[in-house]
Amino acid sequence: NLPRKPVMKWMKGKWMDLGSKAGKHLQFKETYDRNTKIYTFEMKMVKVVPGDAGGYRCEVTAKDKCDSCTFEISVDTLVGSGGLAVKEAAPDAGEDEGELDFSALLKKKPVEEKEQIDVWELLKNAHPSEYEKIAFEYGITDLRGMLKRLKKMKAVEPKVSDAFLKRLESAYSVDKGKKITLSVELVDPNAEVKWLKNGQEIKPSAKYIMETNGNIRMLTINKCNLADDAAYECVVGTEKSFTEVFVKEPPVTITKLLDDYHVVVGERVEFEVEVSEEGAHVMWLVDQELVRDDKAKYRFKKDGKRHWLIINEATLDDIAMYHVYTNGGHTKGELEVEEKELEVLQSIADLTVKSAEQAVFKCEVSDEKVTGKWFKDGVEVQPSDRVKISHIGRIHRLMIDDVKPEDAGDYTFVPDGYALSLSAKLNFLEIKVDYVPRQDPPKIHLDVSGNMVSQNTIIVVAGNKLRLDVEITGEPAPTVVWTRGETVIHKHAYEIRCMNLSWFPVTAVEGRIRVETRTGLSSFVIEGAEREDEGNYNITVTNPAGEDKANIFIKIVDVPDPPEKVKCTSVGEDCATVIWEPPAFDGGAPIKGYLMERKKKGSSRWTKLNFDVYEQTTYEAKRMIEGVLYEMRVFAVNGIGISQPSLNSKPFMPIAPTSEPTRLQVHDVTDTTCTLKWLAPEKIGAGGLDGYIVEFCKEGEWKPANTDLIEKQSFVVRNLPTGEKMNFRVIAVNVAGRSPPALLGQPVTVREIMGQEYPKIRLPRELRTKYIKMVGEKINLVIPFQGKPRPVAKWLKDGEPVDVKKVGTCSTNVDTILFIRSAEREHSGKYTLVLQIENMEDKADIQIRVKPGPPIGVTVTDVWGFNAALEWKPPKDDGNCEITGYTIQKADKKTKEWFTVYEHNRRTNCTVSDLVMGNEYMFRVYSENLCGLSEEPCISKNTAFIPKTGIKAATYTEKDMSCSPKFTTPLVDRSVIAGYSTAISCAVRGFPKPKIIWMKNNMILGEDPKYLMMNNQGVLTLNIRKPGMFDGGKYSCRAVNTLGQDEVECKLEIRGMGGRPLSKVTTMSQRTV
């Protein structure tokens, strides 16, 4: 019945976490049964080795609860393939062998039980010369296996250490950046101890702290890093204790999520993700299948913290959800691939040809594999002797030889498999010659085909070119006037001559809107039509024989304006509902529908949500990731094309409400109240859980019982009508809204359940031992109880009622609270809680105590030989508890390292012995009671000096040893072989002790594990482990103290195996290859 998945850890020994050792040898598995709601965790060992034997522990943690289980694994080695063949010798048959004698069955003679003999105990205690005889007697045939087993049985008793009472553990585990303490217990408390790391002695520093407490020696390593993952030794004389420290790196998290991609076939796709650590292991999956490094299809790339998965040429098979996993994070991105759109590189153009000439229509598309068909006026063109169709690469041609009048018309090229068509018009130019000049009235001949949707209306797409060719007849040549409203656009006159005379066109007016003239033809041209060009246009032709007019309405159509007010109205677990308003201008053509796109906030890549136009203005986007911010935009589509995108919607996050609360039940009922309890929902999601709403009803509408959300999983509904049957339900609420309600199975009758229950105090576990608080801290004791009817709670201190001015108390139906806003020492003491129900009562005592203060006036009263006598007075503040003893420590005035001399000393004086001659000592004393040692010690006012016997030291003025740093031995230039560890050394003097800084090429080396820096009495050494070609350069050492600084430097050259500098060797090897 856990609300969420618990955290499981497998441990070996005390500290080794096996989670970081998962691999081929150790495998972990976890399952969950939804029916029984049971989690199962398994650990599997493959090919068990003797090193796997030992104690193991599994720990499971859920919220604030923890449980563990320990078990042992022992590993036995198999002897041979079939084991040892041990059999008992058969008893002697005697003289009656082969005869059947049933007389023994008739006698009631007791059967003697044969004594069982342990053959292995017999062999173990026998002389080796008797092994063969015993094996023959007891039927042991595998003598080699027998000897191996005997060798294991004769175990050698472990040697008792002369130096260690308690050794180091076999291994320790610590998280990176944390600290760890290694401790041993010695036989001799005065023995000297050395700590080694990988065979090198460790010196005390801020990172390595060595402590002594009696016969216990401790090494503390602060801020562990990967360089501290090593083998450590504790050396006492000739004996050593070994251990190994494993430093675990923090989990790798994902700092930049994957983006969704929408591409066409053949495009390159680069999925990019950024993690928190360089060199981290990243796992790529496609629909939960591991991606392999296939250079023909997939390629991986790394640069610091960034990782890429590259698909060189995307295909329709690559449509999937791509996942990235690290040991501390997960992200996913969707790839959508659509067919590549066909691009028109060169469209076909209108042609005007004369009789018997050749007409060639030519177009070029982006894909040379695309085929197509040619149509004339909607009828497919078939090749013939005059008509030829060719397809060479990306170019398609239609050639018509010996053009005839019936060849004039609209020609269209339609590519196969694409909703695309290219159209052009073939105009046949026919020359008419009038031999007898005559006078005809002017006539306008309008071509009603093409873009003419009605008798006088022409539709033009905005941005396209309009060319309206109007044929004019009349004799003599008429004058043509184009007007828009009252504005004259152009006026010109034609000259029509006889066949034997030359033709010459009238010069055309230049501009975006212009009229081009040829003999017998007037062309009205608009370059790049705009919305403002829409209107009524008039053409008037006049000559002496008469006049003719025509009205034309030119309608400009365009793509629509973008949709407006795009916003998200509701969200779900992986979906969101978006609405918008239609565009203000539809472009002159009806809106066919809309296209939607979405992207993650912060990303620049948009993903299409639909390929077919969507006609409604409300859309539900699905397949989204819960907890990720998204933005959406909408395009409007009409018969002309697609509009510009709308403004991005405000960012929204798909979040689902929680599931209903579980295990709702009635805890208690009175005449006017009902207490309900429940558990958290099984599914909470990324939106979290803000609180709960409790509702009740008798009939009809539900009413809320609480105005504000409640966080606890219990609630008391008050002011209910007595005797009525009420229904109750509980609803969980988060940012996504209300969850489904959890209902009780049947109505509850509001009535006190009569009966009497003895008062009982349920004292919390943390108050059953001792309760310690620092002065100034807040004390808040909540003690639950039970009993019916409601018990009366009283608080007493030392047998008297508590002072309400100093201590606050508050009681409810189920618990009582003792509250102290700021704790003082006077608040300590014995508190008693008394519960009473009529003549029944229950009591509980709580002792609040504090640690004592330090002793007073520690003084060295006498010094003789190698001994010193100390005296002091008890502390003023005993913490309201009896002083149980004192702890005395000593320190040499030179080193100021404290060592414990006595613990739990009950007297206020002591004698410290075994002091070293010539040293001066100071002392400090801690007081102790049941709560522990005092926070601060009392240091002796004077010191104890142990003089050398027989020598009286002369008085002299102490010499000032202060001096600025000065290198007495400089660094020396070195030339070393690559791959062999080397060291450079120098010596420095100075007081106070200078700070040493090592640099390479004027850059501080810091705590690089490749370099080991040592300082032994002023001799400085820099060890370089296995130098490579990049480790050469100028090395310098700087010493700094308060009086000044000094610096020395040297040059380190790295040579190859042949003795040449590494750079030259590398160049030569490359040329050889």
pLDDT tens digits, residue range 351-377? 888 888 889 999 998 888 888 999 988
Nearest to 658 by CA among 584, 744, 596, 572: 572
Q: Determine how many CB atoms are found less than 10 A away from the CB of residue 834.
A: 16
Residue 446, pLDDT > 90, answer: no
Residue 34: DSSP 8-state: T
Nearest to 273 by CA among 332, 328, 336, 335: 332
More confident residue, 279 or 985: 985
Residue 882: its pLDDT value, please?
Answer: 84
Residue 527: its pLDDT value, please?
Answer: 84
552 and 618 housed in the same domain: no
Range 902-927 average pLDDT: 92
Nearest to 82 by CA among 150, 132, 144, 136: 144
Structural contact between residues 163 and 140, judged by C-beta atoms closer than 8 angstroms: no
Residue 2, pLDDT > 80, answer: no
Range 936-952 average pLDDT: 84
Residue 678: its pLDDT value, please?
Answer: 92
Domain limits at 877? 856-945
Residue 797, pLDDT > 60, answer: yes
Residue 381: inside a domain: yes
The CA distance from 634 to 648, in Å, is 8
The CA distance from 876 to 6, in Å, is 50
Range 256-265 average pLDDT: 87
pLDDT tens digits, residue range 486-536? 655 555 544 333 222 223 233 345 678 888 887 778 888 888 888 888 888
Least confident of 188-192, 697-701, 962-966: 697-701
Residue 906: inside a domain: yes
552 and 458 housed in the same domain: yes
552 and 444 housed in the same domain: yes
736 and 780 housed in the same domain: no
Residue 439: its pLDDT value, please?
Answer: 72
Residue 5: its pLDDT value, please?
Answer: 81
687 and 601 housed in the same domain: no
Residue 220: inside a domain: yes
Tokens of 892: 């040499």
Residue 689, pLDDT > 80, answer: yes
pTM above 0.75, yes or no: no
Structural contact between residues 18 and 12, judged by C-beta atoms closer than 8 angstroms: yes
Cβ contacts of 957 within 8 Å, gap of 6 or more:
none
pLDDT band at residue 927 using 50, 70 and 90 as cut-offs: very high
Range 925-938 average pLDDT: 88
pLDDT tens digits, residue range 154-196? 654 455 677 888 999 988 988 888 899 999 999 888 889 999 9
Least confident of 36-40, 694-698, 815-819, 839-843: 839-843
More confident residue, 510 or 484: 484
Q: Locate tokens 């986007």: which residue?
A: 621
Structural contact between residues 277 and 327, judged by C-beta atoms closer than 8 angstroms: no
Residue 428: its pLDDT value, please?
Answer: 81
The CA distance from 463 to 583, in Å, is 20
Range 822-841 average pLDDT: 78
The domain boundary residue, chosen from 214, 248, 282: 248
582 and 687 housed in the same domain: no
Residue 1066: its pLDDT value, please?
Answer: 41
Tokens of 470: 């109007």
Residue 529: inside a domain: yes
Percentage of the chain beyond pLDDT 70 is 87
More confident residue, 958 or 655: 655
Residue 160: DSSP 8-state: P
The domain boundary residue, chosen from 721, 749, 777: 749
668 and 732 housed in the same domain: yes
569 and 629 housed in the same domain: yes
Residue 298: its pLDDT value, please?
Answer: 86
The CA distance from 855 to 861, in Å, is 16
Residue 468, pLDDT > 90, answer: no
Residue 1010: DSSP 8-state: T
Name residue 235's beta-bridge partners: 194, 240
Task: Report the domain count for the chain.
Answer: 11
Residue 37: DSSP 8-state: T
Tokens of 26: 């150790």
Length of the chain: 1073
Residue 25: inside a domain: yes
879 and 921 housed in the same domain: yes
Residue 938, pLDDT > 90, answer: yes
Residue 94: its pLDDT value, please?
Answer: 40
Structural contact between residues 511 and 456, judged by C-beta atoms closer than 8 angstroms: no
Residue 264: its pLDDT value, please?
Answer: 83
735 and 772 housed in the same domain: no
Residue 1020: inside a domain: yes
Tokens of 434: 């009038």
More confident residue, 509 or 571: 571
Residue 489: its pLDDT value, please?
Answer: 57
979-1001 in b/e form (b: 16+ CB < 10 A) is eeebebebbbbbeeebebbbbbe
Residue 904: inside a domain: yes
Let me know if 379 is exposed, middle or buried by CB neighbors in 10 A (0-12, 13-18, 19+). exposed
Residue 490: its pLDDT value, please?
Answer: 52
Highest mean pLDDT out of 281-285, 476-480, 771-775, 791-795: 281-285
Range 875-894 average pLDDT: 87
| CATH code of the domain covering residue 674 | 2.60.40.10
Range 822-838 average pLDDT: 79
Range 1037-1042 average pLDDT: 94
Range 333-339 average pLDDT: 86
The CA distance from 659 to 36, in Å, is 18
Residue 963: its pLDDT value, please?
Answer: 92
Structural contact between residues 354 and 427, judged by C-beta atoms closer than 8 angstroms: no
Tokens of 775: 């002065």
Least confident of 231-245, 249-263, 462-476: 462-476
pLDDT tens digits, residue range 53-108? 888 888 888 877 788 888 888 887 654 444 444 333 333 434 333 444 444 444 44
Mean pLDDT, rounded, of the chain: 82
More confident residue, 109 or 534: 534
pLDDT tens digits, residue range 111-165? 455 566 777 888 888 888 888 888 878 877 777 778 877 877 765 445 567 788 8
pLDDT tens digits, residue range 185-201? 998 888 899 999 998 99
Residue 647: inside a domain: no
396-433 in b/e form (b: 16+ CB < 10 A) is bbbebeebeeebbeebbbbbeeeeeebebbbebeeeee
469 and 546 housed in the same domain: yes
Percentage of the chain beyond pLDDT 90 is 27
881 and 833 housed in the same domain: no
Tokens of 610: 């639909």
The domain boundary residue, chosen from 821, 849, 877: 849
pLDDT tens digits, residue range 28-66? 888 888 788 888 889 888 888 877 888 888 888 887 778
Cβ contacts of 86 within 8 Å, gap of 6 or more:
119, 138, 139, 140
pLDDT tens digits, residue range 526-563? 888 888 888 888 888 888 888 888 888 888 888 899 99
Structural contact between residues 58 and 17, judged by C-beta atoms closer than 8 angstroms: no
Residue 499: its pLDDT value, please?
Answer: 28
